A and B are shown apart, each in its own frame.
Chain A
Amino acid sequence: MQAAAGNEGSPRKVYPVKYVVFLFVLLVFLTMPAWAPRYTVFIFLLFFLYLAVSEMWNLLAGYSGLVSLGQQVFVGLGGYTVAVLSVYYGINIWISVVLGGLMAVAIALIISIPLFRMKGAYFAIATLIVGESCKIFFGNWQYVRQGQGIMITASYHMSTTLEYYIALVIGAGSVALMYLILRSGFGLGLMAIRDNDVSAETLGVEIFRFKLSCFLISAFVTGIAGGMFYIYQVYIQPASAFAIDWIVVMLFVVIIGGIGTIEGPVIGSIIYVLLQQYLSQYNGLDLLILGAVAIVVILVAPAGIWGTLQEKYGFEILTARRR
């Protein structure tokens, strides 16, 4: 059992401490709508959604070595599926969210055929182009009312508390998913691929299948988070759904928090949401500061806040290491 810093001599006594803290935090989140002001609940709703998409980006970039600059495609697809299904066909909104995730997976499967032929930088560029193409396509598509967007009528009267809890499930679920994936044999294979893919392949790790699985998993979760996000927003339009701003968020959350760590995006997401709220009145300044901070972090602490903590003090809560 990994001993927390300072308690080497008595591993058995240490066992409860970090899990108690963990449980306490979980309880705080679970009961938040009961005691926190509505504004705080809003903030944490966003936090959980950003956390989910960032953990997925982290799965791709930090653990599979796939830097994707096009994740917003899945966000948009999830959101639009919810909008189209619930508004045009009257399908129950929660089913639409799940279907949104599945639609994202389907599209991911299709585009993976050309995309996975490319490596590294070319892959990143290709995902960027797919993202931009989607934005243009949806902006000109009559079926989804082009640039005007769609109002998601089913969420007009939805309570914030309900939205918060769903977001909590999605966000906490994504963290749990990461934890389970990385502790499994699949995760071991992923980290082997990241470190040296040729060696991994000679040891029997099927690179293509592993990368594809990660891609599909990330598409699903991102699609669901996207669907939920636009339920909260009530209004979806291509310029926002397929905006490169989503990648900016994921990138900075993961870099500032710590790439390749599970806890990193948690910290990064909190920082981002707080920064975004605090600077919301200065249009564009929040992204600018975030960009500057990210560059500084890359120079000074390339492993991010959590990554540096992990390296320097051996401090881990959700370790991906196997015991």
Chain B
Amino acid sequence: MAHITLQILLSGIMLGTLYAIIAIGLSAVFGIMGIINLAHGDLMIGASYISFVTLGLMGGNAFISLVIVVPVLALIGFALQHFLLNRVMNKKGAEPVLLTTFGLSVIIENGLLLVFSPNTQTLARSLALRGIPLGPSFSIPLIYVIDFFVGLAVIVGFAVFLKKTYLGLAIRAASDDETAATLQGVNCRLVYSYTMGVSMITAAIAGVLVGTTFTFFPYTGTDYLTLAFGVIVIGGLGNLAGTLAAGIILGLAQLTGSYLLGTGNQLLAAYLVLLIVLAIKPQGIFSRA
């Protein structure tokens, strides 16, 4: 029993960190621009597919493909915000942006479906199967450990980026008060485009990690989107440590659910936890609001 608990605990923490990376791009965009990017999950899976194609063309392992995937996605994110979303943000109300990103999500999913088959794919089989033995009767998949450390690096890196770089400062200024930031010489719309680009960088890394850890197919994006929302909602917006904690909570909830309710229902457990938190404290357990 203790072994199983320990395994669930460790796996949950590592899985949760993966969820945190997925969520962090979404959280940044939501917190800074007030945009809910419903296409975030699909863009992330798009990154997985781009990595898949790159591996097919060039060989090598999934992490090498990051060299291609990250810039491509950063560019896509920038272009998306600059040419499309900035324009839609001018329309009154929150619906147009929400619906535009939903439309994008549909386009991406179906586009992926057309180009690639509905079959599931995976990026690096050997890595996923290798395990690190941690005790007499169980081991942690190596990929989970990699997820964990990369996840931590991304989150810490993002925090440092926001605090120390000029662009990070500009982003925080633009999110606090658009007019005041403009008066200080910050081109807010351009900053938003950069933010989306950075968000997509995290999505790219997340996509490669997800593709290596699990299988994916064109519609996987929605599942991860929902989980990412869960992380944001529980962790609170703009709270990086909270996002990490929330990811871990959801990861633990999912694995505990898998153990107690069966693997078919594991996501359900995570969703239930999420709904409960949403009902009790919608701003998030860790939010400062």
Question: What residue in chain A is nearest B97 (Cβ atoms)?
Answer: A298
**A residues bordering B, Cβ < 8 Å?**
61, 67, 69, 113-115, 117-122, 124-126, 128-130, 132-133, 136-137, 139-140, 244, 248, 251-252, 255, 259, 282-285, 287-288, 290-292, 294-295, 298-299, 302
Residues in A neighbouring B36, C-beta threshold 8 A: 121, 124-125
Count of residues in B whose CB is under 8 Å from the partner chain: 40
Residues in A neighbouring B121, C-beta threshold 8 A: none
The answer to whether the Cβ of B6 comes within 8 Å of any Cβ in the partner chain is no
B110, A125: Cβ atoms under 8 Å? Answer: no
**B residues bordering A, Cβ < 8 Å?**
30, 36, 84, 87-88, 91, 94-96, 98-100, 102-104, 106-107, 110-111, 113-114, 222-223, 226, 229-230, 233, 262, 264-265, 267-268, 271-272, 274-276, 278-279, 282
Residues in B neighbouring A294, C-beta threshold 8 A: 99, 103
- Chain B contact residues: over half helix, strand or loop, or mixed? helix
B278, A114: Cβ atoms under 8 Å? Answer: yes
Give complex CA distance A141, B95 in Å.
35
B264, A129: Cβ atoms under 8 Å? Answer: no
A292, B103: Cβ atoms under 8 Å? Answer: yes
Q: Add 4 more A-B contacts to A291-B106, A294-B99 (CB < 8 A).
A: A122-B282, A129-B229, A133-B272, A255-B99
Question: What residue in chain B is nearest A248 (Cβ atoms)?
Answer: B106
Beyond A122-B282, A133-B275, A251-B99, is A290–B94 a contact (Cβ under 8 Å)? no
Q: Which of B104, B113, B230, B267 contacts A136 (CB 8 A)?
A: B267
B106, A288: Cβ atoms under 8 Å? Answer: yes
Beyond A118-B278, A122-B278, is A129–B230 a contact (Cβ under 8 Å)? yes
Residues in B neighbouring A119, C-beta threshold 8 A: 282
Most buried by A among B91, B110, B271, B279: B110
A136, B265: Cβ atoms under 8 Å? Answer: yes
Residues in B neighbouring A128, C-beta threshold 8 A: 226, 229
B107, A125: Cβ atoms under 8 Å? Answer: no
Question: What residue in chain B is nearest A243 (Cβ atoms)?
Answer: B219
Give complex CA distance A297, B274 in Å.
34
Q: How far is the CB of B193 from chain A (nearest CB, A)?
A: 17
Question: What residue in chain B is nearest A119 (Cβ atoms)?
Answer: B282
Q: Which of B84, B104, B262, B278 contacts A126 (CB 8 A)?
A: B278
A140, B262: Cβ atoms under 8 Å? Answer: yes
Question: What residue in chain A is nearest B107 (Cβ atoms)?
Answer: A291
Identify 28 residue pairs between A and B in the complex whose beta-carbon atoms are under 8 Å apart, listed by A's number.
Answer: A61-B95, A67-B95, A67-B98, A69-B102, A114-B279, A115-B279, A118-B279, A121-B94, A122-B282, A128-B226, A129-B274, A132-B222, A133-B275, A140-B265, A284-B110, A288-B107, A288-B110, A291-B104, A291-B106, A295-B84, A295-B103, A295-B104, A295-B107, A298-B91, A298-B96, A298-B99, A299-B84, A302-B96
Q: Which of A120, A130, A137, A285 contacts B114 (CB 8 A)?
A: A285
- Chain A contact residues: over half helix, strand or loop, or mixed? helix
Residues in B neighbouring A120, C-beta threshold 8 A: 94
A118, B282: Cβ atoms under 8 Å? Answer: yes
Question: What residue in chain B is nearest A296 (Cβ atoms)?
Answer: B103
Residues in A neighbouring B94, C-beta threshold 8 A: 67, 120-121
Q: Which of B96, B223, B233 contacts A125 (CB 8 A)?
A: B233
B274, A288: Cβ atoms under 8 Å? Answer: no
Q: How far is the CB of A151 from chain B (nearest CB, A)?
A: 22
Q: Which of A130, A136, A244, A259 contacts B95 (CB 8 A)?
A: A259
Beyond A114-B275, A251-B99, is A285–B264 a contact (Cβ under 8 Å)? no
Give complex CA distance A186, B109 in Å.
40
B107, A130: Cβ atoms under 8 Å? Answer: no
Q: How far is the CB of A31 from chain B (nearest CB, A)?
A: 37
Question: What residue in chain A is nearest B95 (Cβ atoms)?
Answer: A67
Q: Which of B102, B113, B271 contacts A132 (CB 8 A)?
A: B271
Residues in B neighbouring A252, C-beta threshold 8 A: 103
Beyond A114-B278, A288-B110, A294-B103, is A125–B271 a contact (Cβ under 8 Å)? no
Q: Which of A125, A140, A299 contacts B264 (CB 8 A)?
A: A140
Q: How far is the CB of A95 from chain B (nearest CB, A)?
A: 31
Q: How far is the CB of A126 from chain B (nearest CB, A)?
A: 5
Q: How far is the CB of A314 from chain B (nearest CB, A)?
A: 21
Q: How far is the CB of B202 from chain A (nearest CB, A)?
A: 19
A302, B268: Cβ atoms under 8 Å? Answer: no
Residues in B neighbouring A288, C-beta threshold 8 A: 106-107, 110-111, 114
Residues in A neighbouring B30, C-beta threshold 8 A: 121
B110, A291: Cβ atoms under 8 Å? Answer: yes
Give complex CA distance A126, B36 in Å.
13
B98, A136: Cβ atoms under 8 Å? Answer: no
Q: How far is the CB of B86 from chain A (nearest CB, A)?
A: 11
Give complex CA distance A121, B107 in Å.
21
A283, B96: Cβ atoms under 8 Å? Answer: no
Residues in A neighbouring B87, C-beta threshold 8 A: 299
Give complex CA distance A290, B110 in Å.
11
Give complex CA distance A159, B260 in Å.
47
A244, B222: Cβ atoms under 8 Å? Answer: yes
B230, A299: Cβ atoms under 8 Å? Answer: no
Question: What residue in chain B is nearest A252 (Cβ atoms)?
Answer: B103
Residues in A neighbouring B98, C-beta threshold 8 A: 67, 121, 124
B104, A284: Cβ atoms under 8 Å? Answer: no
Residues in A neighbouring B96, C-beta threshold 8 A: 298, 302
Give complex CA distance A114, B279 in Å.
5
Q: Which 7 A-B pairs have the closest CB atoms?
A: A114-B279, A291-B106, A284-B110, A288-B110, A291-B107, A291-B103, A140-B264
A133, B278: Cβ atoms under 8 Å? Answer: no
A284, B113: Cβ atoms under 8 Å? Answer: yes
